[in-house]
Amino acid sequence: MREEQIPLLVNAAHAYVGKPMDLVAVDAAHPGILLCRAAQQALNGLLAAIGGVGKILPVSGYRPRSEQEAIYAASLRENGREFTRKYVALPGHSEHETGLAIDLGENKPPIDFIRPAFPDGGICGQFKARAAEFGFILRYPADKEAVTGIAHEPWHFRYVGPEHAQAMAREGLTLEEYVARLLKTAR
């Protein structure tokens, strides 16, 4: 596998320095929530396939650095350093800045912006079960906090493409573990 095919890794140790390409609205009902076109098309395909349109709502997609800075500062003020460290990425280190990450919530108001409800059962469980088929991974699984550096976020999905997502799902790997394996293989 060539290095340019390795999915983009953004985390506390790997800053995002690019600019997202081809941002589009997730759907007509949420014109302010943007994703890169490939991720948007895959998300809409997955929601349609499981009958999840209107039952699962986009909460947060692409965020410019300035928005991530404001969210981080507000969380520090309102929730404290420990909570913020667990649930809010440092500006420049947020996957939301790539246009490839989406936070989703079950359509049961009120929907929390930082930690939206996304249970394992029902329509949300169906989404999780088929996510890899459409190129999405659950980015922060419960048993991998030490690897990702972020607390379990059952609502945060990252588009990496079907080939990578299915390989990660088969092997139970986080993006950090998968990228490390690909880089080792590429050498």
Buried b (16+ CB within 10 A) or exposed e, 81-100: eeebbebbbebebbbbbbbb
- In the block, tokens 């506390």 appear at 12
3 has catalytic annotation? no
> How many C-beta atoms surround the C-beta of residue 3 within 10 A?
9
Identify the active-site residue in 95, 97, 153, 163.
153
Distance CA 93, CA 96 (A): 9
DSSP lists the bridge partners of residue 37 as none
State how far the Cα of 161 lies from the Cα of 168, in Å rounded to an integer. 11
Sign for the pseudo-dihedral over CA of 107, 109, 112, 116: negative
Are the C-beta atoms of 95 and 139 separated by less than 8 Å?
A: yes
The helix/strand/coil state of 106 is strand
Report the catalytic residues.
153
